[in-house]
Amino acid sequence: MIKNRSVPTNCILPHVYYDNLAEAVTWLIKVFGFIEYYRIELSHGQLHGVMMYHGDAWVMLKDSGRNRTSQSKLVNATHSLMVFVDDVDEHYRHVKTLGAQIVQELFDTEYGERLYSAKDPEGHLWEFSKHIRDVSPDSFGAR
């Protein structure tokens, strides 16, 4: 497989759509700690897309446009995005201090994760997690 510096190939790369892409980028950097890798602007200056990352997690943010919609237009979440962070407790404190809507408070799961969930301003559900122990899937009933 060809290595492409523009698009990561070792993961699933979600494309997340926003009605106000510029505001979303600013918020995700400030509150969740994402880093902008590059941005794409159309010839008339409209922001079309922004590739961002947090550690090894990559996401392409896109303008909602004609045939795509932001989560803000939907009643229920259609997806969530899980990002692994080095210090989930500190990340949680930072996000909560900046006023993000916490959907699930920080807790330890039966499958070995410490995680919490929060929504961004357009309602996309983000989960931040850290591995805290190695757990066999059969220990919690998975097959």
Would the pLDDT of 41 be above 80? yes
- As a whole number of angstroms, the distance between CA 23 and CA 63 comes to 11
Average pLDDT value for residue range 103-120: 94
Q: What mean pLDDT, rounded, does the chain reach?
A: 86
Q: Given this model, what pLDDT does residue 70 score?
A: 61
Q: Given this model, what pLDDT does residue 39 score?
A: 93
Model confidence pLDDT, tens digit, residues 66-110: 666 566 666 666 678 899 999 999 999 999 999 999 999 999 999
Inter-residue contact 58 to 52 (CB < 8 Å): yes
Percent of the chain with pLDDT over 70: 84
CB contact burial 85-120 (16+ within 10 A = b; e otherwise) = beebeebbeebbeeebeeeeebeeeeebbbbbbbbb
- The residue extents of the domains of the chain are 15-64+77-140
Band of pLDDT at residue 2, cut at 50, 70 and 90:
low
Q: Determine whether domain 15-64+77-140 maps to CATH 3.50.50.60.
A: no
Other residues' Cβ atoms within 10 Å of the Cβ of residue 45: 6
Instruction: Identify which has the larger pLDDT, 134 or 94.
Output: 94
The tokens describing 28, both together, are 């995700």
